[in-house]
A = this chain, B = another copy of it.
């Protein structure tokens, strides 16, 4: 077990894991202390997510390129998926959709912008592989278009026929997952040489034994699922208590908590002048949520949700996703960055956050 302890000693963020039993105990003892449970569960999810992504990478490193790439591609946003599943099981579809849209926007704007800004404060100009960034931005744009169609068509007409939206969402979900699978075939098999620069290069750390990696992955998944349930239950109550609109809680808080682990990786890569990696994590994660997590949630809603979920989003969320995809595309087009580019992208995110913060409570 020593590589795990090594990791725990080296990475101080993981010391917060001590809060996992605390939050589980608190939930048993004081289930109505929503704000306390919210704060504790956030503080517990962040280190769990970091450990989860470390374990996924460790399994991936042991299982060879193809299986490993597949693992990273499906489990890379496991935390977001588990949080959304907890909300799905609770029937909180508005929260599920807000967390999907919020995660796409947070990755494509906040994570990308913060990487550019942090990197740019240290290096005058940073260059990165513009081909990979372009492909990811293109994928993100196309994924966003797919997600938008039911919302746009649904709004344009008074086609509020639930059967239509339901059927369309189901078909789109299948189409998105097939596209995602084809994308993996493309980037892991037929054209892998184009994506060489962006792989999660290892920093010479000791590798974990496979059994340890698998056991950690399984154990942490269960813990994240448990804490996510407490988080989802407490978040809206805590938001109300703290004077936050539900839209702000769903789009901003849940999305930032779910993506905290990748955020840490992306920013640390930017600080080491490895913007390729930062851009790959930020955009790749946004693409994965749009093309894989969102449709999987739609399909799972038929199995575990109280009712089927569709892909129809609040119109403000649609606008934000589209603007995020266009901004990411515009900004990564040049293949180089300076601090001001990061400041601008973060400003777009701040504009969204401010708008959501000020929104009256009944929306969306």
Contacts and interface: CB of A to CB of B under 8 A. Distances in A.
Interface centre among A139, A142, A146 (most CB of B within 10 A): A142
A175 interface: yes
Contact of A338 (B145, B186, B323, B331): B186
A190 interface: yes
Nearest to A183: B340
B338 A171 contact: no
Nearest to A168: B358
Contact of A352 (B149, B191, B319, B351): B149
Nearest to A194: B338
A172 interface: yes
Contact of A161 (B161, B326, B360): B360
Identify the interface centre among A149, A344, A350: most chain B CB within 10 Å of its CB.
A344
A186 B146 CA distance: 36
A134 B72 CA distance: 35
Interface string A310-349: 0000111001000100110111011000111101100110
A67 interface: no
A319 B142 contact: no
B315 A351 contact: no
A359 interface: yes
A359 B134 CA distance: 34
A347 B138 contact: no
Contact of A343 (B134, B168, B179): B179
B164 A360 contact: yes
Contact of A134 (B142, B167, B334, B347): B334
A146 B348 contact: yes
A206 to B, nearest CB: 36
A180 B20 CA distance: 44
A22 interface: no
B142 A344 contact: yes
> For chain A, what secondary structure do more than half of its interface residues adopt (helix, strand, loop), or is it mixed?
helix
Given A145-B323, A153-B316, 19 more contacts: A125-B191, A131-B334, A138-B330, A138-B341, A139-B344, A142-B347, A145-B351, A149-B351, A150-B355, A152-B316, A153-B319, A156-B314, A156-B315, A159-B359, A168-B355, A171-B354, A175-B351, A190-B339, A191-B340
B149 A343 contact: no
Interface string A208-220: 0000000000000
A167 B351 contact: no
Interface of A: 124-125, 131, 134, 138-139, 141-142, 145-146, 149-150, 152-153, 156-157, 159, 161, 164, 167-168, 171-172, 175, 179, 182-183, 186, 190-191, 314-316, 319, 323, 326-327, 329-331, 333-334, 338-341, 343-344, 347-348, 350-352, 354-355, 358-360, 363-364
27 contacts: A125-B191, A138-B344, A141-B327, A142-B344, A142-B347, A142-B348, A145-B323, A145-B327, A145-B348, A146-B351, A149-B351, A149-B355, A150-B355, A152-B316, A157-B315, A157-B364, A159-B359, A159-B363, A164-B358, A164-B359, A168-B355, A171-B358, A175-B351, A179-B343, A179-B347, A182-B343, A190-B339
A157 B354 contact: no
Given A343-B179, A347-B179, A354 B172 contact: yes
A120 to B, nearest CB: 9
Contacts of A326: 141
